[in-house]
């Protein structure tokens, strides 16, 4: 690796994703004993229409300027939705080392109007920053989970707090989506001091997190059905939306509404009646 170049972000991602794709998934026959998980390098190269030597250089960081066409082919082979993340990683990998010094955490300021909106909503809602910190929450959100309050971090709570884990009926899926959303949120800023600290802390404390982080899954923080096992009202079926807050760098508004055809609205009303009035 050239000493004046930055970290091999693209190669690390390619290697991790390659190991998650089985030969059967891409229509390759399985013969003999395979010593590596997933696909071999030469198999990825063959399916992507590039030479094995060139693909090896990409993984090892010895070629840092792949074309869009190559990255799109690799995304297809590796089962990625598109090549957008590979393109960002390639750009960051090609950057000189001097441009990739560890950066300070970005200061996140929630607009006052958004904080007022969160407080006024009749549904559980909180504002979440790019590091998955809760920046503001309303009283109904806190009634759904006492961890959904300003000052908490969603990653820490889901992976380190047994009570938060128990809240999610499909905890494994929720945790995987959270990690993929976090990786998508920070993008190529993996040398950001806050990212390094948070990933390091959770990797040591939680083998579960460590395994999910190693997968290099990437996703947008968006909407999804959520089913909770609330200690007071029982099963709570909600639909979550995450909406970008304009004028901010990665802050989203998470809002939970009752899933149609369920009794979630009545259960939220019970929680709302008992919830203390909170400020934003």
CATH fold of the domain at 9-99: 434 Repressor (Amino-terminal Domain) (1.10.260)
The three-state secondary structure class of 91 is helix
Name the phi and psi angles at 260, rounded to 5.
-55, 145
Question: What is the residue-averaged pLDDT of the chain?
Answer: 90
Domains 9-99 and 112-274 share a fold: no
Q: What is the pLDDT of residue 3?
A: 38
CA separation for the pair 258, 244 (Å, rounded): 21
Question: What is the band of 213 on the pLDDT scale with cuts at 50, 70, 90?
Answer: very high
25-39: average pLDDT: 83
Residue 2 has pLDDT above 50, yes or no: no
Who has greater pLDDT, 192 or 163? 163
163-177: average pLDDT: 95
H-helix or E-strand spanning residue 42: helix 41-48
What is the per-residue pLDDT across 90-147, written as a single tens digit (0 to 9) for each?
988 887 655 555 556 667 899 999 999 999 999 999 999 999 999 999 999 999 999 9
H-helix or E-strand spanning residue 74: helix 68-77
CA separation for the pair 28, 225 (Å, rounded): 35
- Say what the pTM is: 0.84
CA separation for the pair 213, 197 (Å, rounded): 14
Q: Which residues contact 49 (CB under 8 A, 6 or more apart)?
A: 73
Residue 33 has pLDDT above 80, yes or no: no
CA separation for the pair 134, 127 (Å, rounded): 6
Output the CA torsion 21→24→27→30 (10° steps).
110
CATH class of 112-274: alpha beta
What is the per-residue pLDDT across 52-63, written as a single tens digit (0 to 9) for each?
999 999 999 888
What is the per-residue pLDDT across 222-258, written as a single tens digit (0 to 9) for each?
889 999 999 999 999 999 999 999 999 899 999 999 9
Q: What is the pLDDT of residue 66?
A: 92
Question: Domain coordinates of the chain in residue numbers?
Answer: 9-99, 112-274
Structure tokens at 175: 């945790």
């Amino acid at each position: 690796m050239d000493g004046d170049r930055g970290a091999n972000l693209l190669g690390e991602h390619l290697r991790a994703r390659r190991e998650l794709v089985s030969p059967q998934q891409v229509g390759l026959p399985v013969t003999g004993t395979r010593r590596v998980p997933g696909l071999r390098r030469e198999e990825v190269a063959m399916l992507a229409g590039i030479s094995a030597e060139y693909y090896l250089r990409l993984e090892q960081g010895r070629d840092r300027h792949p074309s869009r066409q190559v990255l799109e082919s690799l995304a297809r082979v590796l089962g990625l939705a598109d090549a957008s993340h590979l393109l960002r990683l390639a750009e960051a990998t090609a950057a000189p080392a001097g441009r990739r010094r560890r950066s300070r955490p970005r200061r996140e300021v929630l607009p006052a109007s958004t904080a007022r909106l969160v407080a006024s909503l009749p549904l559980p809602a909180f504002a979440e920053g790019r590091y998955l910190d809760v920046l503001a929450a309303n009283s109904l959100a806190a009634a759904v989970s006492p961890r959904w309050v300003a000052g908490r971090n969603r990653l820490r709570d889901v992976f380190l707090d047994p009570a938060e884990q128990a809240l999610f009926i499909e905890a494994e899926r929720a945790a995987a989506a959270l990690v993929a959303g976090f990786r998508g949120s920070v993008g190529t800023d993996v040398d950001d001091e806050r990212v390094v600290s948070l990933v390091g802390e959770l990797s040591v404390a939680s083998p579960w997190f460590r395994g999910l982080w190693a997968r290099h899954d990437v996703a947008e923080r968006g909407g999804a059905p959520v089913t909770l096992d609330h200690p007071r009202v029982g099963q709570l079926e909600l639909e979550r939306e995450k909406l970008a807050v304009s004028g901010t760098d990665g802050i989203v508004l998470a809002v939970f509404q009752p899933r149609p055809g369920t009794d979630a609205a009545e259960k939220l009303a019970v929680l709302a009646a008992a919830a203390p009035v909170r400020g934003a």
